[in-house]
């Protein structure tokens, strides 16, 4: 049942990515950010009220730091989704376990084991394969931005760990993240102008928020009721769903080179996750 929750969550996240790409044809970038965050903050706020957790926090500064990094990661991830095949963009976002391993080594002054070094090097080889010289300039920039989303996500996880260890409920962490995203999205969209939405685009932006929130909720359920290492590895099924949606909805086909690079990154991420303790892996549910 635990495996099923994570597979379902992965499906929701893949559907959110496809919705982002569909909406980007007519809806502005900051509109997408706003609707994603606004719908999520409403859903999470309702859950906080139901669970009677409260919104007040003693760690507002750390929440703002985590929210700033997390939203930057989301912006980079959405930009990559819009300009790259969905499978490629999703894979780049899932480089975060590689960066987490590097951050953990630097911050904890831990021992760089042979297995950890191998997993990190394997991941960066996969990244270099995706950054192949024949990539068009536009895609090259989008690929680098997608890779940046992986690094920023790893940094966001690091700050989530601090908040969880301080006793903050995961829902409150997500609430402040989405609240900041809503405010930034609203301000930026007000500056550049809101996009008029027809019924189809209203459905798309609604799907972005709903699928993203459902993915968050089901992922949290998976991490809360099962082995976090297994759940983390199963989260890579998002890439499989994204590949299928990219082919069915957009006719996207992966080259053998890109597929090889993705496979190396997935293998590297799985190895990095296996080196982490279940407690550390479970932080992903709050991102």
At 192-203, the pLDDT tens digits run 888 889 999 999
Residue 117: pLDDT above 80? no
10 Å Cβ neighbour count for 60? Answer: 10
Whether residue 12 lies inside any domain: the answer is yes
Q: Where residue 279 falls among pLDDT bands split at 50, 70, 90? A: very low
d(CA 245, CA 237): 13
Whether residue 111 lies inside any domain: the answer is yes
Instruction: For Cα atoms 241, 243, 285, give the angle at the middle one, nearest 5 degrees.
Output: 45
122-169 per-position pLDDT tens digit: 877 887 777 665 555 557 788 889 999 989 988 887 787 788 788 888
Alpha-carbon distance values, 273 to 9, 89, 100 (Å): 18, 20, 9
Q: Which domain holds residue 31?
A: 1-275
User: Whose structure tokens read 């090097």?
Assistant: 121
212-268 per-position pLDDT tens digit: 999 888 887 776 666 666 777 788 889 889 999 999 999 988 778 888 888 888 888
d(CA 287, CA 282): 10
- Chain centroid to Cα 3, Å, comes to 19
Whether residue 50 lies inside any domain: the answer is yes
Residue 51: pLDDT above 50? yes
pLDDT at residue 234, rounded to an integer: 80
Nearest by Cα to 29 from 181, 244, 251: 181
Residue 283: pLDDT above 60? no
Whether residue 33 lies inside any domain: the answer is yes
User: Whose structure tokens read 């309702």?
Assistant: 46
pLDDT at residue 183, rounded to an integer: 95
Residue 80: pLDDT above 60? yes
**Cβ atoms of residues 118 and 127 within 8 Å:** no
Whether residue 134 lies inside any domain: the answer is yes
Whether residue 280 lies inside any domain: the answer is no
**Mean pLDDT computed over 98-119:** 68
Enter the pTM of the model: 0.85
DSSP string over 133-196 = TTS-HHHHHHHHHHHHHHHHHHHHHHHHHHHHHTT--HHHHHHHHHHHHHHHHHHHHHHH-PPP
pLDDT at residue 229, rounded to an integer: 66
Whether residue 217 lies inside any domain: the answer is yes
In the chain, the number of structural domains is: 1
pLDDT at residue 286, rounded to an integer: 54
Whether residue 285 lies inside any domain: the answer is no
């Amino acid at each position: 049942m635990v495996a099923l929750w994570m597979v379902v969550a992965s499906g929701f996240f893949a559907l959110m990515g496809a919705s982002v790409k569909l909406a980007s044809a007519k809806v502005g970038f900051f509109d997408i950010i706003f609707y994603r965050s606004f719908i999520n903050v409403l859903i999470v706020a309702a859950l906080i009220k139901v669970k009677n957790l409260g919104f007040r926090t003693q760690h507002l500064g750390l929440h703002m730091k985590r929210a700033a990094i997390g939203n930057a990661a989301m912006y980079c991830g959405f930009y990559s989704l819009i300009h790259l095949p969905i499978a490629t963009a999703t894979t780049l976002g899932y480089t975060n376990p590689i960066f987490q391993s590097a951050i953990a080594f630097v911050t904890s002054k831990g021992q760089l084991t042979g297995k950890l070094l191998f997993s990190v090097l394997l991941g960066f080889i996969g990244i270099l394969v995706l950054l192949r010289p024949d990539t068009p300039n536009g895609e090259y920039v989008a690929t680098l931005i997608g890779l940046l989303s992986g690094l920023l996500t790893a940094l966001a996880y690091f700050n989530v760990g601090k908040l969880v260890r301080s006793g903050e409920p995961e829902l409150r962490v997500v609430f402040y993240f989405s609240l900041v995203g809503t405010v930034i999205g609203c301000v930026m969209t007000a500056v550049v102008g809101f996009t008029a939405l027809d019924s189809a685009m209203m459905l798309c932006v609604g799907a972005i928020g709903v699928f993203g929130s459902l993915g968050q909720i089901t992922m949290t359920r998976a991490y809360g009721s099962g082995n976090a290492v297994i759940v983390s590895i199963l989260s890579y099924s998002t890439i499989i769903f994204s590949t299928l949606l990219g082919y069915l909805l957009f006719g996207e086909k992966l080259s053998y080179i890109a597929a090889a690079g993705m496979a190396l990154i997935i293998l590297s991420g799985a190895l990095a996750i296996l080196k982490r303790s279940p407690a550390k892996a479970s932080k992903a549910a709050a991102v």
